[in-house]
Structure 1
Amino acid sequence: MTLFERIQKVSREHAMSLRELNEKAGLGTNAIYRWKKTKPSADKLQAVADVLHVSVDYLLGNTDNPSPKSSNTPPDLADDNLFMYQGKPIPEEDMETLRYILDSYRKKKGKNHE
C-alpha cells in the first residue's frame, strides 16, 4: 500500500475527505493528491499524521500499529493510546471510565504478583 493509499484509507475511517484533511493539516489545495508522485516534507506528513491520530511510521507503512505513541511508552502513559474506537474519538467522560478500569486492573494485577 502506498503512502497516498494509506492516507486515503485512514481518512475514510475518520469519515473525512482528503480535501478536509488537507485543510485541517494546514496544507495547500490538493497537496495530498500530489503525494501520489512526490514525497512530502516531514513536517507536512507529521501534520497529516497528527490530524489522523496515527504515527508517521504507520502512514509510511513501516508499521501496522497506527498508534502515534512508541512501544516504549510507560504503562501509565499508555492509556492515552485509547483515544479512538472504530476511527472515532472517545469522549472524555468515557476516557475517565476507561482509565478507572485500567487503574483498578493494574492494582489487582499488582496484588496478585506480590
Structure 2
Amino acid sequence: MLLVKRIQNLCQNKNMSLPKLERELKFGKGSIYNWDTNSPSINKVIKVAQYFGVTVDYLVIEDDVLDDESAHSSVRDSA
C-alpha cells in the first residue's frame, strides 16, 4: 500500500525507523506495517501527517502530481 511506503520514506528522511515512529505516536507495535492489509483509522493517519508536517492527501493519494510543496502544506487540526 502506498501509505506505508510514504511513511517509510518520511521516516528515512528523518533517520528513524517505523518502530520508533510507532513509539513516538503511541501506536501498537507493528501497527503501521499492518496498514498494508488493514486500513488505519483516520485519526492515526492524521497523527502521522501532523508529526511529519505533511497533508493527509500526500500520505493516501496515489498521485505523482503531489510534489514536496503540496505535501508540506499545513495540516488542519481536526479537533
Range of TM-score over shorter length: 0.7 to 0.9
More helix, by proportion:
1
Q: TM-score, normalised by structure 2?
A: 0.77
Find runs of 4+ consecutive structure 1 residues off by over 6 angstroms: none
User: Which amino acid is 2:57 matched to?
Assistant: D
User: Which amino acid is 1:46 matched to?
Assistant: I
**CA–CA distance in structure 2, aligned partners of residues 19 and 32 of structure 1:** 8
Aligned to 2:47: 47
Question: Does the aligned pair in 1 maintain the 2:4–2:35 contact within 8 Å?
Answer: yes
Aligned to 2:37: 37
Unaligned runs of 5+ in 2: none
**Pair member with larger Rg:** 1
User: Which amino acid is 2:74 matched to?
Assistant: K
Aligned to 2:5: 5
**CA–CA distance in structure 2, aligned partners of residues 8 and 35 of structure 1:** 12
Unaligned runs of 5+ in 1: 71-114
Question: Does the aligned pair in 2 maintain the 1:19–1:30 contact within 8 Å?
Answer: yes
- Aligned length in residues: 70
Q: Does residue 69 of structure 1 match 2:74?
A: yes
Percent sequence identity is: 34
**CA–CA distance in structure 1, aligned partners of residues 73 and 50 of structure 2:** 8
**CA–CA distance in structure 2, aligned partners of residues 51 and 25 of structure 1:** 8
Secondary structure of 1:33's aligned partner: helix
In angstroms, what is the RMSD of aligned CA positions? 1.8
Question: Does the aligned pair in 2 maintain the 1:21–1:51 contact within 8 Å?
Answer: no
